[in-house]
Amino acid sequence: MPLLNSLRLKTRAYKKYIEDYVDSPIRSNNTVRILTNGDEIFPAMLSAIRSSRHSIALLTYVYWRGNIATQFAEALAEKAKAGISVAVMMDAFGSSKIDDELITMMREAGVEFRWFRPVKWYTLHKLNNRTHRKILVVDQRVGFLGGVGIADEWTGDAQDVNHWRDTHFQVEGPAISDLIASFNDNWVEGGGTALETSYLGSTEIGNQTVQVTSSKAAPGQTHADKLFMSLIRSAQQSINITTAYFAPSPQFCTALIAARATGVKITILTNGPHTNHAITRKAGHRYYKRLLAAGIEIHEYQQTLIHTKVVTVDGHWASVGSINFDDRSFVLNDEVNLSITDPDFVVMLDRQMAKDLAVSKRMVLHKWIKRPLNDRFMELIGSLFRPQL
């Protein structure tokens, strides 16, 4: 790895480096829109589906039950009946709670539906490696990615513990071709025919420069691992991390502490008591003392479960999508993130984080070291499972 702290994020040298390092092109002339919580996310996605004229491709890790799940299934089925090409893939583990009736409805309407890695005796060696990607592409013109799952937990505006906080992104521009390629990566493995990856919109759709990074599960360094490590090591001023699940490896913990030692201000926002993975939270707690002692800010969200995955660096670079700050994302799962080099866009994301911090609790070192012994015991247990979390 080159001396990354000499490659400032704003330079062409860094862009060239990161293109080669994560094997993904940086594309100009895109427009990316931030969608906050279900009240903004789901209407935008459903509107795109209902207005489609050519094709729909949906890949998701979570598709559960409830009203919003039914709305999506009905919209997809209606388009398939109208002769639109509709391809839907769900992770067989993450979406195991879906109502079978919804799958039957879609298939009978003509939707080409496939599971990603269903449990079979000849695929047991891949059972622990899931697709955590959330991708929707409509008419090869507009795409969506981020953290949202198709379930009622994501509806609303994070107003209470039953309605989760999340951020999703709508993309238009040449980067659509890379989103389709990421979809195809899982779709073809599941037996589907690769979809056309060309972008059918105007190349002058916007002025944002973006990079789509698709990461595959691997025993060594994945593209997700490389992307995040390079951003941390290249930071000169600030790193802001919002993540649903924070259970860093020792290597990432060391990299964050090293960045802080050079004067980089680091703020981490993750889940507090409202989490659906308590053991992951406890595994992350194992590293709080080291990080707090180094001067890194850690905040835990108090309002509901926060499912957002956003990293901003130096007020210039943002990486958003499905990647959490844990080994399940960095090593075990297939993921997809969108990186944007746009200071105005980063400002909007940092303002969102500031709002989330206002309803969060900041961890304080002298109080943290006095936490109860039973909490420390659970952290030890969690740390034993951390490589699988």
pLDDT digits (tens, 9 = 90+) for 322-344: 999 999 999 999 999 999 999 99
Beta-bridge mates of residue 116:
91
Domain CATH for 125: 3.30.870.10
pLDDT category of residue 7 using cuts at 50, 70 and 90? low
pLDDT in tens, 214-258: 999 988 899 999 999 999 999 999 999 999 999 999 999 999 999
Helix 37-50 to helix 67-81 angle (10° resolution) is 10
Predicted local confidence at residue 4, as pLDDT: 56
Percent of the chain with pLDDT strictly greater than 70: 97
Average pLDDT, the chain: 93
- Neighbouring C-alpha atoms within 13 Å toward the C-beta of 30: 31
pLDDT in tens, 174-212: 999 999 999 999 999 999 999 999 988 877 789 999 999
Predicted local confidence at residue 375, as pLDDT: 75
Helix (H, G, I), strand (E, B) or coil at 40: helix
H or E segment to which residue 106 belongs: helix 100-109
pLDDT in tens, 212-221: 999 999 888 9
Q: What are phi and psi of 102, to 5 degrees?
A: -70, -40
Rounded to an integer, the average pLDDT of 142-147 is: 98
pLDDT category of residue 389 using cuts at 50, 70 and 90? low
Q: CA-to-CA distance for 333 and 215, rounded, in angstroms? A: 8
Q: CA-to-CA distance for 266 and 110, rounded, in angstroms? A: 49
What 8-state DSSP symbol labels residue 205?
Answer: S
State yes or no: pLDDT of 119 exceeds 90: no
User: Do 188 and 204 touch, CB atoms closer than 8 A?
Assistant: no
- Neighbouring C-alpha atoms within 13 Å toward the C-beta of 137: 31
Return the closest-CA partner of residue 68 out of 160, 148, 170: 148
In terms of residue numbers, what domain contains 323? 4-388
CA distance to 27, 68, 96, 267, per residue, from 354 (Å):
29, 29, 35, 10
State yes or no: pLDDT of 123 exceeds 90: no
Residues with catalytic function: 132, 134, 139, 307, 309, 314
Helix (H, G, I), strand (E, B) or coil at 379: helix
Helix (H, G, I), strand (E, B) or coil at 166: coil
Cβ neighbors of 329 (< 8 A, separation 6 or more) are 132, 215, 224, 245, 322, 323, 335
Return the closest-CA partner of residue 70 out of 32, 38, 100, 31: 100
State yes or no: pLDDT of 317 exceeds 60: yes
Predicted local confidence at residue 311, as pLDDT: 98
Return the closest-CA partner of residue 308 out of 290, 320, 298: 320
Predicted local confidence at residue 133, as pLDDT: 98
pLDDT category of residue 379 using cuts at 50, 70 and 90? confident
Helix 100-109 to helix 67-81 angle (10° resolution) is 10
Predicted local confidence at residue 124, as pLDDT: 76
State yes or no: pLDDT of 3 exceeds 60: no
H or E segment to which residue 57 belongs: strand 55-60
Angle (nearest 5°) at CA 122 between 116 and 127 = 45
State yes or no: pLDDT of 6 exceeds 70: no
Helix 223-234 to helix 12-21 angle (10° resolution) is 160
User: Do 305 and 162 touch, CB atoms closer than 8 A?
Assistant: no
Q: How many domains does the chain have?
A: 1
Residues in the chain: 389
